[in-house]
A and B are shown apart, each in its own frame.
Chain A
Amino acid sequence: EVQLVDSGGGLVQPGGSLRLSCAASGFTFSRFWMTWVRQAPGKGLECAASINEDGSEKHYVDSVKGRFTVSRDNAKNSLYLQMSSLSVEDTAVYYCVRDQGLFQEWGQGTPVTVSS
């Protein structure tokens, strides 16, 4: 059974940093693209960052470019999102997703709140 467990969210002040993690199991992690999808309170879904199988290709939504870095450790079956220079607009639930173009498997989500 595919499992994705998100962690690392919390309350952070504007301008601060946070690192999200996702532990994957139940599939061959190194064979799949992975994506962080976020959802601001009461809003729709947004693909924030994606990474290919070996980490050599990354894509970001324009609003996070230069501030967020997606990475992975295939030996540990783990996905990460390093977030810096956070603003209130980054407040959202962040989901780790196995990416097959569409998104069949999702983590439970980890909430990030940016507030002073």
Chain B
Amino acid sequence: EAGVTQSPTHLIKTRGQQATLRCSPISGHTSVYWYQQALGLGLQFLLWYDEGEERNRGNFPPRFSGRQFPNYSSELNVNALELEDSALYLCASSPGPGIAYEQFFGPGTRLTVL
């Protein structure tokens, strides 16, 4: 069974640009989660999508947004990039909200903002 996949592996942008990161969940999973792992800040929850809807959001500004498509894949968009947005962005998926459903993580996208 294929795991969570993310693209691209690496992304280099300059300040003020927009970045788009993509995630495909494990087949049969309807929930997709996004996390940011920045140096010195640890792993922080960004967004949760389920059945095409945004269900929960972490403490990030509105320039972090995303969506989930009918096939449950997801996109994370970061507008007006700032240097501190440089981080590893991890996507995870689960069969859906509910007890005993752990989140399975993808390999991540390393975003570098110059």
A and B part of one assembly: no
